[in-house]
């Protein structure tokens, strides 16, 4: 499987294939999920040096969102993004706007 730049094997269980033959809707959701995930990881990296209690709470919230994403991906597709069912796709779409 080819990995996207910046995505490491096993990194939150998001191993991604090239999207040349993916349906546009699935590809769009995948792109939006990966973009949001990258934003959250960047924010988490910024907060690591902050020792304030509200920063710790923000880190916990971000980690929780990332683990929820990992759970949905692991339990929602068997092989790759093409295998997402409608229920999981809807949950992932909701995750983007939480």
pLDDT at 4 over 50: no
Tokens of 26: 């699935």
pTM of the predicted model over 0.85: no
Q: What is the pLDDT of residues 31-68, one digit of tens each?
A: 999 999 999 999 999 999 888 989 999 999 999 999 99
């Amino acid at each position: 499987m080819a990995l996207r730049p910046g995505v490491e094997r096993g990194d939150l269980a998001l191993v991604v294939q090239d999207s040349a033959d993916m349906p546009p809707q699935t590809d769009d959701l995948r792109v939006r999920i990966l973009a949001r995930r990258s934003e959250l990881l960047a924010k988490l990296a910024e907060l690591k040096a902050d020792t304030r209690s509200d920063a710790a709470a923000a880190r916990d919230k971000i980690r929780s969102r990332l683990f929820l994403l990992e759970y949905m991906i692991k339990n929602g597709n068997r092989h790759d993004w093409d295998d997402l069912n409608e229920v999981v796709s809807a949950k992932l779409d909701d995750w983007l706007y939480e």
